[in-house]
Amino acid sequence: MAAIPSTSSTTACCIVGGGPAGIMLGFLLARAGIEVTVLEKHKDFFRDFRGDTIHPATLQLLYELGLLDQFLSLPHQQLTRLTIAIGGQPLPISDFSQLPTQAKFIALMPQWDFLNFLSAQATKLPTFHLLMEHEVTGLIESHNRVTGVRANTPAGPVEIHAKLVVGCDGRHATTRTAAHLPVHDTGAPIDILWFRLPRRDGEPENALGNINFGNFLILINRGDYYQCGFIIAKDTFVTRVQPEGLDAFRDSLVRLVPFLSDRVNEITSWDQLKLLSIQVNHLTRWHSPGLLCIGDAAHAMSPVGGIGINLAIQDAVAAARILAPPLKTSIVTELTLAHVQSRRELPTRIAQRFQVMVHYFLNRTLGHPAAIKPPLVLRLLSPHPSFRRFMARFIGMGVRPEHISGGH
């Protein structure tokens, strides 16, 4: 017999997951005067090695909300260009300086700072409610329609009933699993090991990475340290990387990026590394009656290009614009939910195809210990400003960038 919930409440829109998509959607719906409740299973936003790149498209949204200057007063670093080093040869890939945006750079900021900032703005609105330590365990259904969620909290189980439930709970989404939404798995041939190393003043910034000798290392400037991402072949951490030992791992870092030689010995345990199993998949249907999934819950992205967080935020902006009118007046139909998917599906598919193409190149490169040469196509295109502007628009703005209704 099911436990009787300790409390039951009602809201217009219940958002599952307090990540970038969930907080942005909640903020925008509350800004439109809609009662919204966001459920986050953790007690805070502090989890390292999440997406930390705030792209120009997202910064433009903050500008349209009148929040950009306040946001940029927080500690962050700025990248105006992206370069990748292949076989020791640096290749400029993108130049954001010509973008038609207010902020012509990528802001590097820990995701918890971004979420704390955005949620603080949202909580100023009387119809926005953020409930931490609310872990959703299942959906409530009535007459073949999702009408709410069940959640566990430190005070006991609760039920929250809503006109609409939006799943923003990431690649392992409870919402999409409980609703049995169909998933198409594209697959990914790589995983990534995240870790930290100290950074010295004046050292190069290279957010797109260094590829050579069968290895690929990303260095993201976090001020006094690098957030490092070491790409490995899928499912080889336990079978190959660990058995070869920490000395071999440290040596591979130094061979790839020699200036790290004075600090790699700070890696003394595998516990300092976090393995992220990379997924690339998407729902073929993002919705069922009473439920919509967006962000990673609808389309799990690879870290390639750092575009996942920004794609999720774009989903949230489109969803808020489409969902606000029916949430104010009546039930949200599946036709309306399908409208959100049709608006955002093309940008998602294009971004994932780009990531799969990069995965293919990486998979061919990993594990081949010889020095490599950059692909001919990159050597031909990289010197041209038009190519760098195109890539800046694709990476920085994405396909079909969204805008805030009633913004600046």
pLDDT tens digit sequence for 276-314: 888 899 999 999 999 999 999 999 998 888 888 999 999
Q: What is the pLDDT of residue 330?
A: 83
CA trace torsion 70, 72, 75, 80 (10° rounding): 180
Q: What is the pLDDT of residue 4?
A: 43
3-class DSSP assignment, residue 131: strand
Tokens 């189980």: give the residue.
157
Residue 123: which region, alpha, beta or left (left: phi > 0; alpha: psi -120 to 50)? alpha
Q: What is the pLDDT of residue 362?
A: 81
Determine whether 337 is exposed, middle or buried from the number of CB atoms within 10 Å of its CB (0-12, 13-18, 19+). buried
Cβ contacts of 357 within 8 Å, gap of 6 or more: none
d(CA 203, CA 153): 45
Q: What is the pLDDT of residue 91?
A: 92
The terminus-to-terminus CA distance of the chain in angstroms comes to 54
HSE-CB for 31 with a 13 A CA cutoff: 20
Quote the strand ranges of 51-189, DSSP E.
53-54, 77-79, 81-86, 89-95, 106-108, 128-132, 135-142, 145-153, 156-167, 183-185
Q: What is the pLDDT of residue 48?
A: 61
- Contact between 86 and 211 under an 8 Å Cβ cutoff? The reply is yes
Q: What is the pLDDT of residue 404?
A: 92
pLDDT digits (tens, 9 = 90+) for 157-196: 999 999 999 999 988 899 999 999 999 998 888 899 999 9
pLDDT digits (tens, 9 = 90+) for 265-274: 999 999 999 9
Q: What is the pLDDT of residue 365?
A: 81
Q: What is the pLDDT of residue 2?
A: 41
Q: What is the pLDDT of residue 28?
A: 98
For 192, the token pair is 């990534």
How does pLDDT run along the chain (408 residues), one tens digit per residue? 344 445 889 999 999 999 999 999 999 999 999 999 999 999 988 766 566 789 999 999 999 999 999 999 999 989 899 998 888 888 999 999 999 999 999 998 888 999 999 999 999 999 999 999 999 999 999 999 999 999 999 999 999 999 999 999 988 899 999 999 999 998 888 899 999 999 988 887 656 688 888 889 988 888 888 889 999 889 999 999 999 999 999 999 999 999 999 999 999 999 999 998 888 999 999 999 999 999 999 999 988 888 889 999 999 999 999 999 999 988 899 999 999 999 999 999 999 999 988 888 888 887 777 888 888 999 999 999 999 999 999 999 999 999 997 555
Q: What is the pLDDT of residue 279?
A: 86
CA distances from 196 to 111, 221, 253, 265, 370 (A): 16, 10, 12, 12, 26
Q: How many C-beta neighbours within 10 Å does residue 69 have?
A: 10
Q: What is the pLDDT of residue 223?
A: 80
- Contact between 178 and 294 under an 8 Å Cβ cutoff? The reply is no
